[in-house]
A and B are shown apart, each in its own frame.
Chain A
Amino acid sequence: KAGVTQTPRYLIKTRGQQVTLSCSPISGHRSVSWYQQTPGQGLQFLFEYFSETQRNKGNFPGRFSGRQFSNSRSEMNVSTLELGDSALYLCASSQSRQGHEQFFGPGTRLTVL
């Protein structure tokens, strides 16, 4: 099976812009979660989607949003970018919501100038 894919791999934006990141889960996986990784805060949970519904959300401002499509692919959007949004954004997929391994994609490296 192909692994989790994320596009784009690298992105450079300026403050105030918005960005959309995409994630394609492993075939058959219905749960997709997003994480932000920064040197200062480490890995932090953003949100989780299952069956096209957001099931859980981390402690991030409303500028961070996402959605999941019927084929389980997911997108996350960050509006009004801030310098502090520079991070590695990781997507993970699993067969179901709990009790299963989460497999991560390579991440999207976002730099905000």
Chain B
Amino acid sequence: SQQGEEDPQALSIQEGENATMNCSYKTSINNLQWYRQNSGRGLVHLILIRSNEREKHSGRLRVTLDTSKKSSSLLITASRAADTASYFCATDGFGRGDMRFGAGTRLTVKP
């Protein structure tokens, strides 16, 4: 079963704008990862944030984690048309060997 939910389900913005996607989860986690997927292809790993971290940056990406609210957000700054994809969060819990994915946010960046 899926762990949580991404919000919004779909997001459409203009090139150059920032995009923020949110992820909520239900159980305690070891870490949380964000992935990007283009049109039914494989998932590309974006960033991993551990449960003892609150914020992490990678290039134009900024991820925050609030374990008290069981939520995370992914911010993409200065978006480009090439950022058009589905974005998923996945949680890795203690004592589990699997990752649980949300339903994803479909991001469309218009040139």
Q: Does B96 contact A (CB under 8 A)?
A: yes
B88 touches which of A43, A56, A109 (Cβ 8 Å): A43
Q: How many residues of B contact A (CB 8 A)?
A: 27
Q: How many residues of A contact B (CB 8 A)?
A: 29
Q: Is the CB of B48 within 8 A of A98?
A: no
Q: Which residues of A contact B101 (CB under 8 A)?
A: 35, 42-44
Q: Is the CB of A55 within 8 A of B97?
A: yes
Q: Is the CB of A104 within 8 A of B45?
A: yes
Q: Is the CB of A104 within 8 A of B98?
A: no
Q: 1/0 contact trace for A71-113 toward B, CB 8 Å?
A: 0000000000000000010101000011111111111010000
Q: Is the CB of B99 within 8 A of A90?
A: no
Q: Is the CB of B42 within 8 A of A104?
A: yes
Q: Does B14 contact A (CB under 8 A)?
A: no
A56 touches which of B94, B97, B104 (Cβ 8 Å): B97
Q: Which residues of A approach B to under 8 Å, CB–CB?
A: 4, 31, 33, 35, 42-45, 48, 50, 55-56, 58-59, 88, 90, 92, 97-107, 109
